[in-house]
Amino acid sequence: MSGHHHDHDHDHDNHFTAIEARVKALETLMVEKGYVDPAALDAIVDTYETRVGPRNGAQVVAKAWTDPAYAERLKVDGTAAVAELGYGGRGGEHIVACFNTPEEHNLVVCTLCSCYPWPVLGLPPVWYKSPPYRAKAVIDPRGTLADFGVTLPEGQRIRVWDSTAETRFIVIPMRPAGTEGWSEEKLASIVSRDSMIGTGLPHVEDAA
């Protein structure tokens, strides 16, 4: 484990729950009054959860893959390096970048709630907040990865990082072979949200 312990109460989550409750009430009202199509709302949420938010993190990863000096800065001070690209603020006060290597694969979980680095990854996916993921990731990380269709080489150990309100993690996946000479933009297109949580890997065939 990472040595990061939950020794604080999770007020920050309760705070967001209140906001979420208000948003939900507002959504319901708007849908009932016919101002908003529920499908359009879902599309907006999906955009932030899977596209807009994670694109920020994907830019960070692509720059780390192409700029060794930036990768070093990211290792030393994730928050500052992420801020260089214009990302930061609430939920990104202290970001630690965990670099995957052939020897070690990183997996992020928040065992007590759902702390998540919003500035680089957008909205947390529903499964990230679910008790089964939060429990199994710690007890059986290899089995958890198998649930996501990820099989690692036998010798590659898995390190599990427990997110807290103070510290949030972004996984920097290994750059896949066959991407030599690619632009940062093309590289960013293969960096999925799941690969920055550790439950996925980038694939060359996913290139935009």
Is the pTM of the predicted complex or chain greater than 0.85? no
Q: Rounded to 5 degrees, what angle do the CA atoms 194, 198, 203 make?
A: 60
Look up residue 205 and give its DSSP letter.
G
Look up residue 164 and give its DSSP letter.
-
Higher pLDDT, 15 or 113: 113
Give CA–CA dist 150/195, Å, rounded.
10
Determine if residue 115 is labeled as part of a ligand binding site. Answer: yes
Query: Which CATH entry fits the domain spanning 11-206: 2.60.40.680, 1.20.120.530, 3.40.50.720, 3.90.330.10?
Result: 3.90.330.10
In terms of phi and psi (left: phi > 0; alpha: psi -120 to 50; beta: otherwise), the region of 9 is beta
Give CA–CA dist 18/151, Å, rounded.
39
* Lowest-pLDDT choice from 46-50, 138-142, 160-164: 46-50
Determine if residue 98 is labeled as part of a ligand binding site. Answer: no
Domain residue ranges in the chain: 11-206
pLDDT > 80? residue 38: no
Determine if residue 110 is labeled as part of a ligand binding site. Answer: yes
Determine if residue 113 is labeled as part of a ligand binding site. Answer: yes
Q: Which residues are catalytic?
A: 110, 113-115
Give CA–CA dist 141/119, Å, rounded.
25
